[in-house]
A and B are shown apart, each in its own frame.
Chain A
Amino acid sequence: MPLPRWFHLLGSPPFVYRLTSRLGPWLGGAGCLLLAVGGYWALAVAPPDYQQGEVYRIIYIHPQTAYVAMMAYVVMAVAAGIGFVWRIKLAHAAAVSAAPIGASFTFCALVTGSIWGRPTWGTFWAWGDPRIMFETLLLFLFLGYLVLRAAFDDRDKADRVSAILAVVGVVNVPIIHYSVIWWNTLHQGPTLLAEGGPAMTNDMLVPFLIMFAGFTLFFYWLLLTRLQGEIVERERDTRWIQELVAGSRA
């Protein structure tokens, strides 16, 4: 089967650079708009919860950051796997770009979770909760990936060795996702994908979903921005980058 033309173009750094600089502002603008609308709706319009009062409003940030963290890991692992198998350098560049963003989102998920946990569970941190534990392990996996990369002088080798680690670490993602179902602990069970439809009224559900979409677009905007930097760094000795820099200076 002949591959379509766009597939080959996705391996070309100048093409992807132009694509990202064209797509980036749209993703960033739409993401920030959704976050602003969703954030206002979540904090000012949505009613307080009948049990938790105002504290529940963390559900407009915490599940979204945790979800983006896991998505970032999957994006990183898939990109790294593609880069490893087909030796596409841009795929490796995308994997490297996703790692620090994913680590930051994982950190945010842990912090927002413990801020919410204090008034609701009565504790900042529950060592016994599997989802917290696996989320922490996810943070360590991101950091381990970055540490392993930093240990290599040769970028090509760093790309390919760290790709193996990224792919192996994927086993953690389904475990995090199902941990609240497999182990009955402090953590809440599924709300959105609960049996018999979402366990939320619509005036809470709509901003909840808007925030999901907003954070997702925000993540991809960050990813594209970092990818641009990564491309410039990797291609800095090529003519098109020199011309690009000369053009922006002129």
Chain B
Amino acid sequence: MNAFSTIVLRDLRVAFRRFSELANPLLFFVIVVSLFPLALSPTADVLRTVGTGVLWVSALLSSLLTLDALFRGDAEDGSLEQLLLSPVPLGLAVLAKIAAHWLVTVLPLMCLVPLLAATFDVPARALPTLAFALLLATPTLSVLVGLGAALTVSLKRGGSIAGLLILPLAGPLLIFGTRATDLSVNGEATAAPLYLLAALAAFALSLGPAAIAAALRVGLE
């Protein structure tokens, strides 16, 4: 557990020293979200129906922007190899890196969501469900981003390929996430899709780090 918190704190420190890299995905998120009303007819009815979907897709896309930050810097300066050689189980180290990544990229993004949802006229009663669904879905998303980053860590231009690999796998997240939000917009019970999101998170967090660790081992050998 000590190793876990050490890695998390170290990654947080590194992230805050490169503050602009932290802000980029957030800015991208806001820009993508604001492009949709330009492309669609911006009447309140249309925006209300597409609003939550737009937020989900934009969050998914902006998480791709953070993909290279996860392992690439560490792979280039050799600290990832040291992590592989250290006695700490690699799966645990991966989980710590993903936790740190989630804290610095996803958490700020989630703080923006209620604000942006309000501009789309999403009813206020749906906001707690939206936030809760995001809270349950984003750990899975972070694991997927980690997987994409690990599979392409030895490629020079891995980022563009990684998007192709992980976006199809994010399909179920999007389905259950938007379903929960839609149900709450209509004032219906939202437990079922939220349970499914939680199940996916448990699945991803328990097995994902092992897959990511295997991909890193192959990538760096």
Contact = CB atoms under 8 A, between A and B. Distances in A.
Among A151, A171, A172, A175, residue most surrounded by chain B Cβ atoms (within 10 Å): A151
B218 A165 contact: no
A28 interface: no
Contacts of B152: 148, 151
Contact of A175 (B154, B172, B214, B219): B172
B218 A164 contact: yes
B168 A157 contact: no
Interface residues of A, number: 24
Judged by DSSP, the binding face of A is helix
A168 B147 contact: yes
Interface string B32-69: 00000000000000000000000000000000000000
Contact of B171 (A137, A160, A167): A137
Given A144-B164, A148-B161, A160-B218, A168 B211 contact: yes
Judged by DSSP, the binding face of B is helix
Nearest to B168: A140
B215 A164 contact: yes
18 contacts: A133-B171, A133-B175, A147-B165, A148-B151, A151-B152, A151-B155, A151-B158, A152-B154, A152-B155, A157-B154, A161-B151, A161-B215, A161-B219, A164-B215, A165-B165, A168-B211, A171-B169, A175-B172
Contacts of A113: none
Interface in A128-142: 130, 133-134, 137, 140-141
Interface string A166-179: 01110110010000
A160 B169 CA distance: 19
A144 B165 contact: yes
Contacts of B151: 148, 161, 164-165
